[in-house]
Amino acid sequence: MHKVGFFRSIQLKFIIIFILLLLVAVQVIGSYFSYSLEEKLTTNFKDTVDGQIELLTHYVEDAFNKERKDDEQKTTLQQDLQGIIRDIDTNSSWNLLVVNSQSQILATNNYSDQGNVGKKTTNQNILKAIVSGSEQEYRNKDIDNNRVYIKVTPILDMDGEAIGAIYVKASYESIYDQLEEINQIFLNASILAVIVSALIGILVARAITKPIMEMRKQAQIMGKADFTQKVNVYGTDEIGQLAIAFNDLNDQLKHSYAKTEEETRKLNSVLENMSDGVIATDETGAVTLMNEAATILLGTNTEDSYGEYLVDVLKLDEKIVDLSDLQESGSMIIDFSDDTDIFLIRANFSTVTDEYNEITGFITVISDVTEQEKLEQDRREFVSNVSHELRTPLTTMKSYIEALLDGEWQNKEIAPKFLEVTQNETDRMIRMVNDLLQLSKIDNKEHQLQKERTDFISLFNHIIDRFEFNVPEHIEFVRELPNEKLFVWIDKDKLIQVMDNIISNAIKYSPEGGKIIFKAVKQKHQVLVSVEDQGMGIAHDKLEKIFERFYRVDKARTRKLGGTGLGLAISKELVEAHYGKIWAKSKEGKGTTIIFTLPLMGKKRRYNK
């Protein structure tokens, strides 16, 4: 996680909110105070002006209503009015005029306006008050942009008729000067209060945010899978309760993380030790996980496969196979064979869904089924070969028996031949069934070897002597055996069967005047035995197949000689049961050599029968 700067921290936000609340409060208080003070001062000012005007009006009306002689009325009225104005205590900033009903100025308090006394005024406010007989009151600004209060009060006679007017223009700019001074004092006090509040806010914010910052640091540590530390609890308030809950959460996460880690280790152990390959992808088919078995089977590595699409990793044709096809197929056999080796892989596909049943990925399990397919193919071929091998003699026997039933049994020349062929085919089928039973027992591990300590050279000579007694005159036996005893741990009957199969084949395929060479060579821990004939030989591409069941190089000649095609297959199984190996060497036209090995007995080893 990145570090939070001070200007983006909650501490600064607390301070700003604290100051803003204070400023709002100060602003509201200041506005209300300034407005109320302004209203109070202007009202007091107006009341003062109105009081003075009321007093002045009383004296002026008395002066107007006083009886005077006509010749001295005017002079006396002006003098009386001037004296009244002089006696009334008015502010020097006031401009006071007294006019009669003809709008003639009779008196003024402003010495600079004494020249206008006796002249008519054109002030519309005065004229309006005299005409209407009602007070006129205005608030305005003069030519100097000063705030002024103007009031025109009509002078009434005994009958209530306007006989003049009193004009007062009073400046109240001083009130706003006072308000400005007061506001400046209030502003200075507000600034000082904000500064003090900011300092207090910093302390308060630190006290509030300190446990929160500790929890943030602990959350970052927990994000790195470190659950060993805990936050401090500073009290029992909401933040203290939050710290306690945070520590409880830390303990629960520690337990859950440990459990998850354990499950992950188990899963990884299972995946890594599986013989089958596992490939996981996201919803788009891109590889996100692949175990070691999968990399071995596919001949790739995990790093290169991450991010690759599943159809590419499995080398499938994307035009034919896409993710929907894989989902529907569920399983398929993929051929990775090349020119030399057969390699088949079975892939089983399944989907991963979320709680909304939406596909979030695919799981593919792959396994090597090459041997299974080979075994299945061998099984099918075996069944086919057995059926074929049994059908051929049965067909022959059926034909001869039908001929005999049709009356040929009375033919003394043909009947014996037909019966002889039938007997030979019956014997061949019996041998075939016996061989199949023996192979079945070997495959099912049912046969038990009766091993004993045996001198192999002596046994080899005995087997050769037995064949040599009945060998055709046109075949020569050549022995190249050592003049020493080579002891082996074997089942004599089973090994005699192996040698009988090998030597019988050598005799069958030897031409007239041919030789069969018998060899036994002592090696470090084994004896190497070979039987070589000078027959027609076997092609190189067919050499490994002669140990397969029912395989014949020359099928027509083998059947004619009574072979079942199982002799070498049985020999191979018996040699390997004695922990030996068997193979063949051959060149076409130059004969064939069958070679096998048997382990020699050690001098210090004890053997039990």
| 12-178, CATH topology level | Beta-Lactamase (3.30.450)
Give the residue among 609, 246, 261 at the shortest CA–CA distance from 448: 609
* Residue 236 neighbours by CB under 8 Å, 6+ apart: none
Which pair of structure tokens corresponds to residue 356?
């909304």
CB–CB of 168/91 below 8 Å? no
| Distance between start and end Cα atoms, the chain | 76
- pLDDT attached to residue 2: 47
Indicate the CATH number for domain 374-443: 1.10.287.130
CB–CB of 492/518 below 8 Å? no
Domains 12-178 and 374-443 share a fold: no
- Counting beta carbons within 10 angstroms of the beta carbon of residue 191, is it exposed (0 to 12), middle (13 to 18) or buried (19 or more)? exposed
Strand 95-100: give its sheet, edge to edge.
Answer: 105-108, 95-100, 162-171, 147-156, 136-141
Give the residue among 58, 57, 46 at the shortest CA–CA distance from 138: 46
| 452-599, CATH topology level | Heat Shock Protein 90 (3.30.565)
At residue 295, the 3 state secondary structure works out as helix
CB–CB of 505/584 below 8 Å? no
* Alpha-carbon gap, residue 75 to 63, rounded angstroms: 12
Domain range list for the chain: 12-178, 274-368, 374-443, 452-599
What's the farthest any 2 CA atoms get from each other in the chain? 204
Which pair of structure tokens corresponds to residue 334?
């993929």
Give the residue among 488, 442, 499 at the shortest CA–CA distance from 602: 488
**How far is CA 154 from each of CA 97, 165, 305, 363, rounded to the nearest angstrom?**
12, 4, 108, 106
Give the residue among 140, 150, 75 at the shortest CA–CA distance from 106: 75
- pLDDT attached to residue 91: 62
The DSSP letter of residue 339 is: S
Task: With a cut of 50, list the residues of the chain below it in pLDDT.
Answer: 1-2, 319, 556-562, 604-609
* Alpha-carbon gap, residue 135 to 122, rounded angstroms: 17
CB atoms within 10 A of CB 170: 21
**How far is CA 553 from each of CA 388, 408, 588, rounded to the nearest angstrom?**
16, 36, 12
Which pair of structure tokens corresponds to residue 300?
């790739």
Backbone phi, then psi, for 253, in 5-degree steps?
-65, -40
At residue 345, the 3 state secondary structure works out as strand
Which pair of structure tokens corresponds to residue 582?
């068997």
Return the CATH superfamily for domain 274-368. Answer: PAS domain (3.30.450.20)
- Counting beta carbons within 10 angstroms of the beta carbon of residue 109, is it exposed (0 to 12), middle (13 to 18) or buried (19 or more)? buried
- pLDDT attached to residue 519: 93
Which pair of structure tokens corresponds to residue 128?
């309006």
**How far is CA 25 from each of CA 202, 277, 283, 371, rounded to the nearest angstrom?**
19, 72, 58, 89
CB–CB of 516/478 below 8 Å? yes
The DSSP letter of residue 609 is: -
CB–CB of 383/361 below 8 Å? no
- pLDDT attached to residue 176: 81
- pLDDT attached to residue 607: 43
CB atoms within 10 A of CB 579: 11
Sort residue 265 into left (φ over 0), alpha (ψ -120 to 50) or beta. alpha
* Alpha-carbon gap, residue 133 to 125, rounded angstroms: 12
* Alpha-carbon gap, residue 337 to 339, rounded angstroms: 7
CB–CB of 592/581 below 8 Å? no
Partners of 352 in the β-ladder: 361
